[in-house]
Structure 1
């Protein structure tokens, strides 16, 4: 009955292999050389100087038929047939893989590029879409087995084992401010270790428990099949899949290719950069700098050609006896001895499980991250001898640091459902499982995986800054004394101790004030007045004159600063200005009592009243008429008075006496009084019209100074007069 079950496993399988390896661990920025598994770009700009993997293995088994409780399995006496929960359906699946990363290492070539060399062994298998009810039937004894029928139509199955030796090169492509992009490629030499596949067309299997009578009352079952089956395998497989060993096969070789890119968004890029004294920018190599990281890669492009492999096609239309089936030693004998071979060949070609990987990583807070990863198969599910991965989506929160990381992946795996796991990395040890928490908490777990390994991680060192000045010891020319970046971490010196640092001091070896850029103030002309205060810095002068000499432009012995006429010589008593002679009478204004009117020296610069002028005055004065017996001046005398005023103004400093005279008619007393009053009337008129009162005096002589006889009328008229005489 086991051969019948194995026949069903081969015929009814489809391949979901190479499920995610090292679930959770590959999200870690400290996974090191393991990063080439999912994306070859991961190894450059990494947190490692070098990373050496000693050995690591990841094993996964998943199905949707058996459900177990982990505590029952580990109790010691557990039987799958008796104790496991069974979930039969029309399409049950079983698949698994082993992924061993052997000796591998990575290191940095320079600041922008890295290289890795790795060895790897991989085994993939699965059983897919088996009818669970059928499996329950054939797993029992024949006597208890009932008839069953399976209509499988077309199917494809592939199992493959191979070893890889690969080299990876990764390089920074773009690094500017907050944007960073790197890419990588892995070239892999593939060595086949074993391969088997089968595919079918329009396949059905009908088992009749009472189908054949062997005589003597003995009845055995019959197996009726229809369709066409393709079957191929490498030359180290003889048809008995239970006993073959993995081994290097001559002529089983191939090549593979992985390509990948990683973009990082670094909004705080500046906080990770420093500038040395030469202006070169260097960044922290020991820190993740991104807020968001996005990865895209395609892996396992290629194939392995088994040159000595066997590939046959069989017509399985017909009915065979169950006993005949049981008598055959292996599955290949069943096909060769019980069915008709319609085609045969000597070569098989196993395609790698080409896949697309999308990865997004979010640095939520310092050392806490959240990763979203999707693995999608790019291989056709209807192409024979082609490996395929199971599509998977994983959400993994993690804590990450240089020495320790912890992750808890939550995954949805095609054909296996939800998985919850945990893992950690501690120094050289990494261990974990993508399903351990599901196994611990569920009574019906259908998947199990585990990975474990040891490596020698040599991480980038944190830059040391012994003096705490922000310049790392490697870049610091004074690592024990704090100093600015622009001076290579050394403090600025103050050679002359004037409190102005040498970098700002224009006279670093000579003390000077801050306001003069550390230079002492100069006294170019040596006059004890510093140049900063000296208005004549190149000519010695006097401190009280801001360092300048007093000038005497006009040579009058009076300095220009005090000379009101600096360009014209003049005496000291006139503030350096020459005395003026405004009226041009050769008598200086300072001595001229009439500076605006030309005069004579004898008259102190004032014009002299000549006899002619005196006569003219009196001629006008004699024409002044008074009302009879009164002191009031007649109107018709106004013209004569105006003329008198004009003459008086021409001699502004001359003083005049207005003299009144009468005839002898009347009493001498009255005549005296009348003469005085009339003299005062003329004086008052002149003062009223602008003549200074200090220049005028009035006097009356009555009848005492006649100029003609009073005996006659003409004589008396001449005696009644007013005279204006110069007071000498």
Structure 2
């Protein structure tokens, strides 16, 4: 398991970072499909009558342990991830916007979008457990553990097709208000979740091995579906089954306001949206979702408790279940059943201000509306960003400055040349400081009339 996870993280870290996909370009005053993905009301604000999206790709990773300079150090990455006493948090997130189309007709705007999503998350994992599994090495021989947090390893991949409609609901010479809605049909691909909560126990080092016992029973959830039933640490397992069968719906709603400055321009534009109101239903033939009581006590077979080194080469959750059941720590058998996973519902608020002609500055706020600790929840992050931009028509450039609750403050840069765009939310901070974030996005679209 160790080698597979580290290879996957290195692969993604070379691309990525942040969690605000297409930052800067998605709130441009050159309004297109990316704006509509952020807020469906923007479809009635399209800059051109028609727009076609060819592709849009965004990858990002955010963590609270590994800095950019650590990638060139001699220290093993697993040591860096599990150093200190602060719980480990990492979010790996990818999004691909496929062929999509939007049009504006009178006061209406319409859009059809396709999207693929994949994520892998580490949520509030105790670093002592990580050290004990990967290195069988503890700073002291006996370590007490007590946490009510739900420690999670979770992965998901799914596709979606969205149908959007927006309309201008009020307009005069100075003001304009638009509202929109997107109905998304969801195609769950794969899912995995390992959630350990209410852990109160002791890790003891005996010889070259670390053993875990519990002082009181903990709660353990193990769920998996699709290709992630076979492996949750290989990058290919997230991408080879992004689109499953139609099993879920979701909704985005939004509104925009413009203080106008001429027929098609504005001094100020503000928007608010709630995205991803819905859930995925996993009904694959290899679905399993079981909540166990985990009670690890010394036995004649295992007088020191559970040997954590047994998990060193594990690469799927079935193996985890098999080890725990074989050693008598789980009495219930895995439960084959369909289950539901909630999407990362988010509230977004933004404002775009014209400073002088062709120079704008955008403020953006994203607030998650669910708790990442829930076993049936896809995670998200809280973000606040400020983006100054210069828009010369055919060419546009911008500098996103953001802060999120996983990796802190980051500074990036991006540009648009015609329909092609390229950017990063963190390249400046990665090159000039010890950033704990890396990201990359690019795409191409064209507009007509």
TM-score (normalised: structure 2) = 0.84
CA shift, 1:79, in A, is 5.5
Equivalent residue in structure 1 for 2:115, among 120, 139, 151: 120
The residue aligned with 1:183 is 179
Equivalent residue in structure 2 for 1:261, among 255, 265, 271: 255
The residue aligned with 1:480 is none
Equivalent residue in structure 2 for 1:222, among 211, 215, 233: 211
Q: Specify whether residues 386 and 18 from structure 1 end up closer, same or farther in structure 2 by C-alpha distance, changes over 3 A only.
A: farther
CA shift, 1:43, in A, is 1.9
Following the alignment from structure 2 to structure 1, what is the Cα–Cα distance between the partners of residues 313 and 371?
37
The residue aligned with 1:310 is 288
Matched, 1:46 2:24: no
Equivalent residue in structure 2 for 1:151, among 136, 146, 165: 146
The structure with the largest alpha-carbon Rg is: 1
Which ranges in structure 2 are unaligned for 5 or more consecutive residues? Answer: 10-16, 297-304
Q: Specify whether residues 382 and 66 from structure 1 end up closer, same or farther in structure 2 by C-alpha distance, changes over 3 A only.
A: closer
The residue aligned with 2:100 is 104
Matched-pair contact (CA < 8 Å) for 1:233–1:348? no
The residue aligned with 2:402 is 411
Where in structure 2 are the equivalents of 1:182-261 lying within 5 Å? 182-204=178-200, 206-210=202-206, 220-225=209-214, 226-243=217-234, 244-245=237-238, 246-247=240-241, 253-261=247-255
CA shift, 1:88, in A, is 2.8
Which ranges in structure 1 are unaligned for 5 or more consecutive residues? Answer: 10-16, 212-218, 273-282, 461-728
Following the alignment from structure 1 to structure 2, what is the Cα–Cα distance between the partners of residues 397 and 68?
25
CA shift, 1:90, in A, is 2.1
Following the alignment from structure 2 to structure 1, what is the Cα–Cα distance between the partners of residues 156 and 424?
23
CA shift, 1:222, in A, is 2.3
TM-score (normalised: structure 1) = 0.53
- Which of structures 1 and 2 has the larger relative contact order (alpha carbons within 8 angstroms, sep 6+)? 2
Q: Specify whether residues 310 and 18 from structure 1 end up closer, same or farther in structure 2 by C-alpha distance, changes over 3 A only.
A: farther
The residue aligned with 1:332 is 318
CA shift, 1:295, in A, is 0.4
SS of residue matched to 2:198: strand
Q: Specify whether residues 393 and 366 from structure 1 end up closer, same or farther in structure 2 by C-alpha distance, changes over 3 A only.
A: same
SS of residue matched to 1:107: strand
Following the alignment from structure 1 to structure 2, what is the Cα–Cα distance between the partners of residues 105 and 24?
21
SS of residue matched to 1:44: helix
Matched-pair contact (CA < 8 Å) for 1:137–1:145? no
Following the alignment from structure 2 to structure 1, what is the Cα–Cα distance between the partners of residues 24 and 259?
22
Where in structure 2 are the equivalents of 1:664-679 lying within 5 Å? none
SS of residue matched to 1:66: coil
Matched-pair contact (CA < 8 Å) for 1:60–1:450? yes
Number of residue pairs the alignment of both structures matches: 418
Matched-pair contact (CA < 8 Å) for 2:151–2:197? no
Equivalent residue in structure 1 for 2:444, among 416, 441, 454: 454
Following the alignment from structure 2 to structure 1, what is the Cα–Cα distance between the partners of residues 248 and 138?
49
Following the alignment from structure 1 to structure 2, what is the Cα–Cα distance between the partners of residues 297 and 82?
38
SS of residue matched to 2:92: strand
Following the alignment from structure 1 to structure 2, what is the Cα–Cα distance between the partners of residues 19 and 293?
23
CA shift, 1:400, in A, is 1.5
The residue aligned with 1:93 is 89
Matched-pair contact (CA < 8 Å) for 2:121–2:379? no
Q: CA RMSD in A?
A: 3.1
The residue aligned with 1:374 is 365
SS of residue matched to 2:23: coil
Following the alignment from structure 2 to structure 1, what is the Cα–Cα distance between the partners of residues 185 and 78?
44
CA shift, 1:68, in A, is 1.9
Following the alignment from structure 1 to structure 2, what is the Cα–Cα distance between the partners of residues 206 and 252?
45
Following the alignment from structure 1 to structure 2, what is the Cα–Cα distance between the partners of residues 324 and 380?
31
